[in-house]
Every structure is written in C-alpha cells, then in structure tokens.
Amino acid sequence: MSDEVEFVPYEVAMQVVGNIVEEEHLHELNRRVLTVYDKEGQELCWYDAEEIIQEAVIDNPKDKDAVKTACVEVIMHQIPKWALEDLLKRKKAEVERQKEPGQG
C-alpha cells in the first residue's frame, strides 16, 4: 500500500469545500491551522498554516486578502481523496439512520 496521498481534482474540491478557517491548534500553543469544512459545515481536513503560507505564491504578502486567496488556492489543489471518502461514509450513515423506523 502506498503512503502517497491522492488528491481530488480542483473542480471537485470547488463543489465540496464550503469554507477554510484559520484556527488555533487544539494541542499546540502558537500553532495555527487552516481547517477545511464542507458546504454543510462538517470538517473535512486541516493543514498547518505556516506550511501552506510557505507553499503559496502570494502577490502582495502585506495584503491579508492576497495571502488568504493564495492559501485557499494551494489547499483547493490538495484536498485528499480520503477526506471525501470519509464524507461519503458519513452521508451514507446519515441516510441509513433516516431509513430506520421512527426516524424522519
């Protein structure tokens, strides 16, 4: 089994990703993460903010909007396939729960 992560096509990421939010790491002080949420607000995955900023091609590093746009562009090209597989599993489980007697 390969350890190499496969990414979904950019066009698929555009259809699934609803928001990317900069947040504090839950367990490490002074570490920021960029958390990716689907269009329903469910977490898909997260990235180390510093790593993404280093990878991004930023037109104007002093402009916060330019930095955010460049970081989003990097992330949208790196949504792992496993994140969407997890999303599909959650959706299937949700559908199954709705089919159960007494559920709406």
Span 21-68, pLDDT tens digits: 999 988 878 899 999 999 999 999 999 999 999 999 998 989 999 999
Question: Which residues neighbour 56 within 8 Å (Cβ) at sequence distance 6 or greater?
Answer: 67, 70, 71, 73, 74
What's the N-to-C CA distance of the chain in angstroms?
41
Phi/psi-derived region of residue 60, left when phi > 0, alpha when psi is between -120 and 50, beta in every other case: beta
Which amino acid is it at 43? Answer: E
pTM of the full structure: 0.83
Q: Is the pLDDT of residue 1 over 60?
A: no
Angle made by CA atoms 89, 1, 9, in degrees to the nearest 5: 55
Burial of 54 (0-12, 13-18, 19+ CB in 10 A): exposed
Task: Name the nearest CA neighbour of 74 among 61, 88, 102, 55.
Answer: 55
Confidence class for position 90, pLDDT limits 50, 70, 90: confident
